[in-house]
Amino acid sequence: FLFLMGVAWNAYYYYMNVQVLQENNTSETNNGNHNNNNTPNHNDHEPPDTIEYNDIYSQAFVNILIPIMVWIVCCVRAYQFHGLIVEAGMEATAEQEQLQQEFAANRHDDEDDDSDNDNGDSDNDNDDIEQQQQQQHDDEVVRLNTTTATNDNYNNTRRLVQDEEHEELTLQVEEARFS
């Protein structure tokens, strides 16, 4: 979306530059012809100080080179940010899977220990079940905290990048106003 917005904005800005240059060229041509009628031996086919027709398009393009470069930088930074977010998500998923595997391995080891030490004592079995339930609860809390922290980091980083892009665009608009 950012790329399409940049292309549309730059195309519109280019179009507006061409229109302004053509208007300036037309007004200079009209002023030049009016003033040149008083001077003898002047070539009326080529008024002085006017921009050639093909030169209007190249000059309009030169006028929007800096804004185009700013948009390109914004698009590259957005792509890099997207890559960082994807990488952080993959790391969080891998860490979560590792924790789940460790939890499953610990639970399997606890079950093996319980079956080896089974003396028919129901109090020990109840204590073990309570410990397992507490461990499962603790692991679930750790998983949720990890996921929440990852989402918070993503949202905070996204806000920072959007703020930076907004500041860049604001500066660009202010520069355009003073140009």
58-67 tens-digit pLDDT: 888 888 898 8
2-20 tens-digit pLDDT: 778 888 988 999 999 899 9
Q: Give yes or no for residue 42 having a pLDDT over 50.
A: no
State percent of the chain over pLDDT 90.
14
d(CA 44, CA 49): 13
d(CA 149, CA 96): 12
47-59 tens-digit pLDDT: 445 556 668 888 8
Place of tokens 């302004």: 20
Q: Give yes or no for residue 134 having a pLDDT over 70.
A: yes
The rounded radius of gyration (Å) of the Cα atoms in the chain is: 35
- Asked whether the CA dihedral 62, 64, 67, 72 is positive or negative, the reply is negative
d(CA 132, CA 135): 5
Query: Do residues 6 and 53 make contact, with C-beta atoms less than 8 angstroms apart?
Result: no
For the chain, the straight-line distance linking the first and the last C-alpha, in angstroms and rounded, comes to 28
d(CA 1, CA 9): 12
What's the pTM value of the predicted model, to 2 decimals?
Answer: 0.42
Average pLDDT, the chain: 76
Average pLDDT over residues 161-177: 75
- pLDDT confidence of residue 51: 54
128 vs 46, residue with greater confidence: 128
Question: In the chain, what is the greatest distance between 2 CA atoms, to the nearest angstrom?
Answer: 124
86-122 tens-digit pLDDT: 999 999 999 998 888 888 888 777 666 655 555 555 5
